[in-house]
Amino acid sequence: MLPPTLEQHGLAPSLELLLRNTVTPAGIQVEFEHHAIPEKLDAKIGLGIYRIAQELLNNTLKHAGASKIVLQLYRAGNNLVLHLEDNGQGYDFDTARQKGSMGLLNILSRASTLGGVFQAEPAKPHGTVSIVRIPL
């Protein structure tokens, strides 16, 4: 199902609302930056990116113990990039993937379905950087 805000206002405003409704009440500092997003974004791509962001934010809230999240959405060449960084405790991406973490498998599946890629790595000095690249 398509969130009404996504259909009516687009991806960036929908992500702002998602952050305001999920992360801000948890007392976590949030930065959201977006630029060069295509005006006419394919509905499947918009929904896929939204759901991936939702899963990443839920994982961060549940497991990271972060006090700050930076979410960026931008166009880089022929790709739409979602970049989420937190200052939490981090996690081992390979171990989570091998264990079959449902949230992680969901993210990988959504990215793959859209022809894109997902990668996660430790942030310095601590936390996690998650990057999703979806071709436009």
pLDDT band at 97 (very low <50, low <70, confident <90, very high): low
Q: What's the pLDDT score for residue 124? A: 82
Q: What is the dihedral of CA 37, 42, 48, 51, to 10 degrees?
A: 70
Contacts of 78 (CB under 8 A, 6+ apart): 135, 136
C-alpha 71/C-alpha 34 separation (Å) is 8
Q: What is the pLDDT of residues 60-69, one digit of tens each?
A: 998 899 999 9
- Name residues whose C-beta falls within 8 Å of residue 39's C-beta, 6 or more positions apart in sequence: none
User: From CA 68, how far away is CA 125, in angstroms rounded?
Assistant: 13
pTM strictly above 0.85:
yes
Q: pLDDT tens digits, residue range 3-51?
A: 888 988 999 999 999 999 999 999 999 999 999 998 889 999 999 999 9
Q: What is the CATH number of domain 4-135?
A: 3.30.565.10
**Which pLDDT value is given to residue 76?**
96
